[in-house]
Chains A and B, each alone.
Chain A
Amino acid sequence: MDTFSPLKAAPLSRRAGTRDTIEVVLNVNGRNHRLAVDPRVTLLDALREHLGLTGSKKGCDQGQCGACTIHVDGRRVLSCLTLVAMVEGKAVTTIEGLAPEEGGLHPMQQAFLDHDAFQCGYCTPGQIMSAVACVREGLATTDDDIREYMSGNLCRCAAYPNIVEAIKQARAEMEEQP
């Protein structure tokens, strides 16, 4: 066992004066929002209940189903297992912010429509956010890889074959116009 000298400690920072409320500046889809929330509030609940962005869905709320998938600094993560306090200073993108401002759909959204890649639609925002990241990560190369790297998004209607087809269509378009 190697032992080195102890480190000097600096005080921790606390964002608010009380135990029950913290102030967070949340950047979502390019806009800043100032929130005062209980530390228990997840990013998913902040989006849905505080900002009215109900596109991200609460499925299991335990990090198992993928319905709440959003992007933080471009990486796909689960908003139900992220405290809103953890993403201060980071850029959050939800399904509402995926399409270009000037209108029209993102190629992945259009591909899901074209291929009927859903039935009830509840998992769809999470599927689309995950699929966009999957293509950008360069992991959507073969059908098997798409299935593997999309396995964190469950679809109980089992639209899986159509989801794979939709991702392949969008992949081609995204690679032309990243």
Chain B
Amino acid sequence: MRPFSYDRAHDLASAIRAASAQVEVQNRAPIQFLAGGTNLLDLMKIDVMRPERLVDINPLEDSLSEIVADGDGLRLGGLARMSTVAHHPDVEKNYPVLSQSLKLAASAQLRNMASLAGNVLQRTRCSYFRDVSWGACNKREPGSGCAAIGGVNRKHAVLGTSPHCIATYPGDFAQALIALDATVEITGPKGERRIPVHELHRLPGDTPHIENTLAAGEIITAFQIPRKAWAKRSLYLKVRDRESYEFAVASAAVALDLADGVVRDVRIALGGVATIPWRAVAAEEVLKGKPLTEDIARSAAEAAFEPARTHGENDFKPELGRNTLVRALLDAAKLEA
């Protein structure tokens, strides 16, 4: 690991100020916030991330890790740990997709460490990104090319790709948040703002090294989840190469508002198949106002993967993704609202 200096933040404002005057963007910025450390320290050990200074925000845990559940919805602090939220009785009962997406991710130890905000911002597992001996990675070194296109790309994305990057977004929880129409609370040098979770991540386009819409110094302080009709009839289905402690090859977060078997409203977000947590709006539109039959679910899945572009080893992903979404929808329809 390269040398860095270490500071502790004792209030939010000083943490923000410490990181706000940076020219380099986001993950290449010399000053990084340290929360759980499970992604950042790993990437520093393998020399993918090279910050000069870490600002430890864990001392802010008391104010930034609250879990508040009431009639209006749920508010989850950005520093709340994955395990705490996953096993929270209110989350398990009323927002099952959130609890499931967390329990099916990582290991018990990592879930005890990792923060919600860090989880949502976690970086791709693309082997070319993680191995600095490969020269070509536009995410790591802008303009250097993409070794995954034409390379070993079985786990790579088929949705939201660009000629510059096909790296898969590896997380699960962001999809669950999107399926419940959640909002991100952000505090930064210019104050506080709120955006929908599905506007947090950026498509790679021709700047795959810029992964989200956060500005320098901004911190995710909380996630707000409204208590809507679909929250209880929600689930996360994760398909992977082994049964536990593995990233998704394909996954679906779905939340259904059903009335007499007819879809009143629905939210769908896909994992393992896209460059960002992927909201499948086209699939939602197919379902709205229709009875949730297997045929309709199949049509929705076709719509979701219509824009898919495969790259050889991942040619199987659209079919696996469609089947995953169909099963998730049909299973969700069987849940009690």
Residues of A within 8 A of B (CB): 1-15, 19-20, 22, 38-40, 42, 61-63, 66, 69, 75-78, 81-83, 85-86, 130, 133-134, 137, 139, 147-153
Contact = CB atoms under 8 A, between A and B. Distances in A.
A86 B37 contact: yes
A105 to B, nearest CB: 23
Nearest to A74: B112
14 contacts: A1-B194, A2-B193, A3-B190, A3-B191, A19-B5, A39-B4, A39-B6, A66-B109, A78-B113, A81-B41, A130-B108, A148-B244, A149-B108, A152-B109
B109 A69 contact: yes
Interface in B147-169: none
Contacts of B58: 86
Contacts of A4: 191-192
Nearest to A1: B193
Contact of B37 (A83, A137, A153): A83
Interface of B is mostly: mixed
Contacts of A39: 3-6, 54
B17 interface: yes
B18 A12 contact: yes
A118 B190 CA distance: 56
Contacts of A8: 13
Given A3-B190, A9-B16, A78-B113, A134 B10 contact: no
Contacts of B74: none
Nearest to B104: A148
Nearest to A75: B112
A81 B34 contact: no
Interface string B189-226: 11111110000000000000000000000000000000
B37 A81 contact: yes
Contacts of A69: 109
